[in-house]
Amino acid sequence: MKKLVLAGAALSSALILTAAPLSAQDRVVNVFNWSDYIDASILEDFTEQTGIRVVYDVYDSNEILETRLLAGSSGYDVVVPTASPFMARQIEAGVYQPLDKSKLPNLENMWDMVSSRVATYDPDNTFSVNYMWGTVGIGYNVAMIQEALGVDEITSWDVVFDPENMQKLASCGVYFLDSPTDVMPVALNYLGHDPNSDDQDEMTAATDLIMSVRPSIRRFHSSEYINALANGDICLAIGWSGDVFQAADRAEEAGNGVEVAYAIPEEGTQMWFDQMAIPADAQNVEEAHEFLNFIMDPEVAARATNYVYYPNGNLASQEFIEAEIVEDTAIYPDEETLANLFTVTPKDQRAQRVLTRNWTRVVTGQ
Amino acid sequence: MNRLVSAIAARLTIIAPYLWLLVFFLVPFLIVFKISLSTTVTAMPPYTPVFDLAEGWAALVEGLRDFTHENYLWLWDDPLYVNAYLNSVRLAAISTALTLLIGYPMAYAMARAPSSLRAVLLMLVILPFWTSFLIRVYAWIGILRPEGLLNQFLFFLGVIDRPLVIMGTDTAIYIGIVYSYLPFMVLPLYATLEKMDFSLIEAAQDLGCTAAGAFWKITVPLSVPGIIAGCMLVFIPAVGEFVIPDLLGGSQTLMIGRTLWNEFFANRDWPVASAVAIVLLLVLVVPIMFFQQAQARAQERGR
């Protein structure tokens, strides 16, 4: 989950956090997590069970989190970066401390499918445990797509990367994520290239592909599409799985007759992992470990997923997750789909620059 | 003895603002300037060299050798930055003109209002500051979006049959900037207009000048200091504005605030981001300093 923008809101909310005084009686843990990403009752229960007060603060982009961590003395004890490219290069920069696994007995509940993939970025999962993971896919308004394209369900990226299809959708509204690390790998993969390619020509080809449908894109934005889909303002968005399901849920609650669906296209897509980690300069290391262990409790992890509609990396939690979530292959993909998902690797400075520059061309046309 | 004390007190009073500028402007500026000469690395903090006083003089000299001006050269290599600067200046200039157009009549009306009313009017201009800036900009989203208040109202009146697309366009940015910065234009204008001697206008009219003529020949020239102050207060922050274009504007609007954001957050390139900031400062400050000097000289001559 890589939301961009809205730095102002995140920064101002971050300023509210004040360093809590340390004393034997008053144990605290300072948690910095994505906005709208936890069931608040989980935090209350944690305090009730352990006596540790949770100072909870939120951000809405990996970039904001990264900048605060790189500046040092962030004051946070638990943070939730996306594994790649963000956490991987933060580990390289020395931002995190190794976890004391003897204090994390609940590690045995974790799901090897997730842990082994995360190990690409965090060998042996030395620095982090998984909180949620998900995919980048297509969220759409079923009735509007039926009317515009004459299909009942979306199965392919052709819908957004074929100019002919996009022209038909332009009037009902299409949003793209404003996030180069999410959309560009998908475009590269669609063209049959390595999604992690740094090759200049292949990058240009992917950029041109998006440029060819750009006139039909209403907006590049990484969070507005949730409400836009739920209200029926737009017919399609490239988005993160859980966000689209939240949109579907909101539409259902509003009873406005809007039906939102999510598709993992058959060409394959990106899979991402949001990891919980402890900064190297954290003040409350003991409490941070207790918090991590609590989150890895199967029932707690299940509650978290029931709330945010994202799959988690906790295998033991699956029996406690609502059937409509755990049995939905768009949320918990089946084996066949899983084999089609790819992960992205961090880029070096020069390649990152090329990526951002190409994305600026996509978004602004310059 | 008393004289000595008061002399020292006078000195201290003068030093205070200089100290303020030194600590809160010059030092941060130098830090940013220093980072703009550094090189990016994957570390905390993400640039090198980093100076540590504990390492002594030799390490400092060694570090100075690592400085590079490449980040500034980089900015000329890609037309992106120049375009972003120009576009920001254009947007800010148009917004400033619009703010002046709306703010001047307001300030004029306030200055001509009965003195018992003025305090209330002044209060009304300042009132929006009681609410968070961010929330006020968010409120505009609610007004301008396709199903927002404005479109619903126009539908109700039957003026339009399909929603006006304002959200996500430059028009929305202009509305946001004009709305947010209007008090900064009105207050200095009001301050100059209020001090103006309105009997001058009566004199002009007695001598046969039309009302419009008196306004252009007397009121406007006398309020020039207020116009300049107001325009500066609006134009300068509007050039670097990030929040308003981000929330109200479309992603296709290229502005320097967004470019800086990309360098700093997306590319994690603090040195280039700092170079962009320094150039922005030069682009803004240097012309303004020349302008002020010219103004001062003109005033000297006027006397």
Say if residue A238 is in the same domain as residue A360: yes
Say if residue A122 is in the same domain as residue A207: no
DSSP SS3 for B199:
helix
Say if residue A195 is in the same domain as residue A299: no
Q: Nearest C-alpha of chain B: how many angstroms from A365?
A: 7
Residue B209, C-beta contacts closer than 8 angstroms, at least 6 positions apart: B217
Question: Would B80 be classed as within a structural domain?
Answer: yes
Number of domains forming the structure of chain A: 2
Structure confidence at residue B6 (pLDDT): 85
Residues of A in Cβ contact (< 8 Å) with B266 = 4, 63, 180, 352, 356, 359
Structure confidence at residue A19 (pLDDT): 44
Residues of A in Cβ contact (< 8 Å) with B245 = none
Question: Would A2 be classed as within a structural domain?
Answer: no
Q: Is the peptide bond before A85 cis (omega within 30 degrees of 0)?
A: yes
Question: Would B50 be classed as within a structural domain?
Answer: no
Say if residue A117 is in the same domain as residue A246: no
Question: Would B11 be classed as within a structural domain?
Answer: no
Which position has the higher pLDDT, A346 or B62?
A: A346
Cα–Cα distance for residue pair A17/A28, rounded to 1 Å: 13
Q: A281 - beta bridge partners? A: none
Least confidently predicted of A283-292, B277-286, B294-303: B294-303
CATH number for the domain spanning A83: value is: 3.40.190.10
Residues of B in Cβ contact (< 8 Å) with A231 = 147
Q: What confidence tens digit (pLDDT) does each residue in B188-237 have?
A: 999 999 998 888 888 998 998 888 988 998 899 999 989 999 999 999 89
Give the residues of chain A that fall short of pLDDT 50: 1-23
Question: A with B: how many residue pairs have Cβ under 8 Å apart?
Answer: 84
Say if residue A15 is in the same domain as residue A72: yes
Q: pLDDT confidence of B65, banded at 50, 70, 90?
A: confident
Say if residue A88 is in the same domain as residue A123: yes
Average confidence (pLDDT) over B47-70: 77
Structure confidence at residue B169 (pLDDT): 86
Question: Would B24 be classed as within a structural domain?
Answer: no
* List of E strands, A40-127: 52-59, 78-79
Contact A366 B242 (CB under 8 A): no
Give CA B106 to chain center in angstroms: 20
Average confidence (pLDDT) over B250-279: 87
Structure tokens at B58: 């030799």
Say if residue A42 is in the same domain as residue A121: yes
Structure confidence at residue A8 (pLDDT): 40
Residue B133 pLDDT > 70? yes
Mean pLDDT over all residues of chain B?
A: 88
Say if residue A286 is in the same domain as residue A219: no
CATH number for the domain spanning B220: value is: 1.10.3720.10
Give CA A364 to chain center in angstroms: 24
DSSP A169-203: HHTT-EEE-S-HHHHHHHHHHHTTS-TT---HHHH
Question: Would B105 be classed as within a structural domain?
Answer: yes
Structure tokens at A235: 């017919």
Cα–Cα distance for residue pair A130/A275, rounded to 1 Å: 4
Question: Would A72 be classed as within a structural domain?
Answer: yes
Nearest to A344 by CA among A57, A34, A33, A136: A136
Say if residue A298 is in the same domain as residue A226: no
In chain A, whose CA is at the least distance from the CA of B167? Answer: A219
Average confidence (pLDDT) over B26-39: 91
Residue B122, C-beta contacts closer than 8 angstroms, at least 6 positions apart: B110, B190
Which position has the higher pLDDT, A222 or B58?
A: A222
- Domain range spanning residue B254? 76-302
Which position has the higher pLDDT, B51 or B46?
A: B46
- Domain range spanning residue A207? 135-270+345-364
Contact A70 B264 (CB under 8 A): no
Q: Is the dihedral of CA A238, A239, A241, A245 positive or negative?
A: negative
Say if residue A172 is in the same domain as residue A234: yes
Say if residue A297 is in the same domain as residue A326: yes
Share of chain B above pLDDT 70, in %: 98
Number of domains forming the structure of chain B: 1
Question: Would B57 be classed as within a structural domain?
Answer: no
Q: Which residues of B touch A (CB under 8 A)?
A: 40, 42-46, 78-80, 83, 134, 146-147, 168, 242-243, 246-247, 250-254, 259, 261-262, 264-269
Structure confidence at residue A13 (pLDDT): 44
Q: Nearest C-alpha of chain A: how many angstroms from B26?
A: 21
Question: Would A257 be classed as within a structural domain?
Answer: yes
In chain B, whose CA is at the least distance from the CA of A220? Answer: B251
Residues of A in Cβ contact (< 8 Å) with B237 = none
| Residue A122 DSSP symbol | S
Least confidently predicted of A74-83, A242-251, B246-255, B276-285: B246-255
Question: Model-level pTM?
Answer: 0.79
Cα–Cα distance for residue pair B178/B173, rounded to 1 Å: 8
Residue B287 pLDDT > 80? no
Structure tokens at B240: 């670097």
Residues of A in Cβ contact (< 8 Å) with B259 = 360
Q: What confidence tens digit (pLDDT) does each residue in A219-253 have?
A: 888 888 998 899 888 999 999 998 999 999 999 99
Instruction: Taking each helix axis as running N to C, give the angle between helix A285-295 and helix A298-308, from 0 to 180 degrees, rounded to the nearest 10.
Output: 70
Average confidence (pLDDT) over B292-302: 76
Question: Would B42 be classed as within a structural domain?
Answer: no
Residues of B in Cβ contact (< 8 Å) with A353 = 267, 269
Question: Would B143 be classed as within a structural domain?
Answer: yes
Residue of B248, B265, B272, B274 to mutate, interface with A, max A Cβ within 10 Å:
B265
Q: Name which of A64, A94, A353 is nearest B267 (Cβ-Cβ).
A: A353
Question: Would A179 be classed as within a structural domain?
Answer: yes
DSSP SS3 for B209:
coil
Say if residue A122 is in the same domain as residue A156: no
